[in-house]
Amino acid sequence: MALNSPRVSRALSAFDHISHRWAAMPMRDPNRAPTTQTRRPPPSHPVTAPVVSRPSLLDDVSLRRAAGMSLRDPNAPATTQRPSSPSSDDSESCPLPGNAPVVARQSLSLVTWNINAGGWRHVERAERILSHILEGPKCPDILLLQEVVSPVREFLLGDARIRSQFLTTDAEDETAFKGVPFATMTLLSNKHFGSSLLAEKKDRRDDSRGDSEGGPIKMEIDSVFRMDLPSRYKRDALCVNICHPTAPGAILRLINVHMDSLNSQFRRALQMVTMASLLREPGCKGGIIAGDFNANHPDDHTLVDRYRLVDAWVALHGSTKGPEGATWGVGVELPWGRGHKPSRLDKVVMLGLQPNEIEVLKPGYINASTPWSDHCGLHCTFTI
């Protein structure tokens, strides 16, 4: 199924300090994608991808056939960072507010962190991680979280810093948390991202083009959706589409992912080919895949190169061998004992963007035996 899996529309919400509620922002239906393909009606519920048999070799043709995808090379020149010319419908999908000027190249930052749904004291550990991220010198524009449990979701939605500084997914309901032990959440800085469709409620100049004193031009949010991945654990891709600031009619896609763990290397390969194709759909001019890649097998580290994506850590630091860049099991007692070493499980991968800096954010401890998480975070800056 893969790319044919239903795209379940989700909201991106802003906190309304007058009503004291999270309010969903008006956005485009993600099933009305800017492509020349036949459009599908909005799905009534997500569909789990089928379990597929393991081919003898993890070659690209086998992976794409197993995922139910076209056998044409996803890296062919026709689609590699060069989507089809925007049609009139594309322009309607990603409108530029008013007479807003095209945004110049700019630098943004993101943090991705698996905050660990295991153990106990989930909310307390999440609060320590959030404070470390938001109160440090490098507060990010984009925050991608994995292994968020329902009590942590409630904490995040009630935090005054989140309410005042961020737009967030999954504030409208707990649909993404039903039937699974945890889910992902994506948060975007309200200083850098917005929606011109809020012009009916707010002055368009202030909301989308910066304030009268020369505030920053905000990047336009297009749509948000979740799409099931081929997964043993009901994992999905949480996608936020952003209107491309220098290419009217095109989008950039932010994908927050928690890939299958342990001995699921074949499913991780299926997940990777699916997400790489999501960044190369007609109308999409690249973007970012970030989160917990669970890259615990040597073949996992070949997938980024196979689909001609850029691993920010490798691009900026070179070799992935050794402990440098490890994001799991760093300075903590490993849960499975001997034989397991610190590993670079988490990644920031991109297409059509330029990585500038990336660093590992190490967790602290609540007490001598309770780290904030078994994962480190990653802080990455990049240029659009």
43-83 confidence digits (pLDDT tens)? 444 433 333 333 333 555 555 555 555 544 444 443 333 33
Position 324 confidence tier, pLDDT thresholds 50, 70, 90: confident
Q: What pLDDT shows up at residue 104?
A: 65
Higher pLDDT, 19 or 332: 19
For residue 215, is it within any domain?
A: yes
Position 339 confidence tier, pLDDT thresholds 50, 70, 90: low
Spell out the long-range contacts of 130-135 with Cβ–Cβ below 8 A and sequence spacing 24 or more.
130/156, 130/159, 130/161, 130/162, 132/361, 132/363, 132/364, 132/372, 133/361, 133/377, 134/161, 134/165
Q: What pLDDT shows up at residue 51?
A: 36
Position 174 confidence tier, pLDDT thresholds 50, 70, 90: very high
Give the three-state DSSP class for 126: helix
For residue 182, is it within any domain?
A: yes
Q: What pLDDT shows up at residue 276?
A: 98
Lowest mean pLDDT among 38-42, 67-71, 171-175: 38-42
User: Which alpha helices (DSSP H) does 318-361 contain, by range?
Assistant: none
Helix or strand run (H / E) with residue 370: strand 370-371
Structure tokens at 266: 């074949």
Return the closest-CA partner of residue 247 out of 90, 126, 366: 90
For residue 291, is it within any domain?
A: yes
What is the percent of the chain where pLDDT is above 70?
A: 72
CA distance 147 to 125: 12
Residue 276 carries which DSSP code? Answer: H
Position 101 confidence tier, pLDDT thresholds 50, 70, 90: very low
- Which amino acid type is present at position 128? R
Q: How many domains does the chain have?
A: 1
Burial call 340-379: b when 16+ CB within 10 Å, e when fewer: eebbbbbbbbbbbbebeebbbbebeeeeeeebbbbbbbbb
> Average pLDDT of 290-316?
95
pLDDT at 13 over 60: yes
Provide the CB-side half-sphere exposure for 8 (13 A, CA). Answer: 16
CA distance 104 to 216: 11
Report CA 120 to chain centroid distance, whole Å.
26
> Average pLDDT of 99-104?
52
Higher pLDDT, 78 or 149: 149
pLDDT at 358 over 90: yes
Q: Cβ neighbours of residue 136 under 8 Å, at least 6 residues apart?
A: none
For residue 37, is it within any domain?
A: no
Higher pLDDT, 179 or 342: 179
Higher pLDDT, 209 or 226: 226
Q: What pLDDT shows up at residue 36?
A: 38
Q: Cβ neighbours of residue 172 under 8 Å, at least 6 residues apart?
A: 10, 11, 13, 22, 24
Determine the angle formed by the axes of helices 150-158 and 122-134, rounding to 10 degrees: 40
Residues in the chain: 384
Per residue in 119-146, pLDDT (tens digit) is 899 999 999 999 999 998 899 999 999 9
For residue 130, is it within any domain?
A: yes
CA distance 367 to 384: 41
Higher pLDDT, 98 or 138: 138
| Largest separation between any pair of C-alpha atoms in the chain | 62
Position 329 confidence tier, pLDDT thresholds 50, 70, 90: confident
For residue 43, is it within any domain?
A: no
For residue 84, is it within any domain?
A: no
User: By residue range, what is the domain housing residue 319?
Assistant: 2-7+108-383
pLDDT at 332 over 80: no
pLDDT at 334 over 80: no
pLDDT at 319 over 50: yes
Q: What pLDDT shows up at residue 82?
A: 35
For residue 102, is it within any domain?
A: no
| Rounded-to-5 percentages of helix, strand, coil across the chain | 20, 30, 50
Q: What is the mean pLDDT of the chain?
A: 81
Ramachandran assignment for 112, one of left (phi > 0), alpha (psi -120 to 50 degrees), beta (any other): beta
Report CA 323 to chain centroid distance, whole Å.
25
What is the percent of the chain where pLDDT is above 90?
A: 61
Q: What pLDDT shows up at residue 250?
A: 96
CA distance 170 to 271: 22
Helix or strand run (H / E) with residue 8: strand 7-9
For 28, phi and psi rounded to 5 degrees?
Answer: -80, 150
CA distance 238 to 287: 13
Return the closest-CA partner of residue 328 out of 193, 147, 187: 147
> Average pLDDT of 199-219?
54
Per residue in 228-274, pLDDT (tens digit) is 999 999 999 999 999 998 899 999 999 999 999 988 889 999 999 99
- CB of 106 within 8 A of CB of 193? no
Higher pLDDT, 349 or 212: 349
CATH of the domain at 272: 3.60.10.10
Position 219 confidence tier, pLDDT thresholds 50, 70, 90: very high
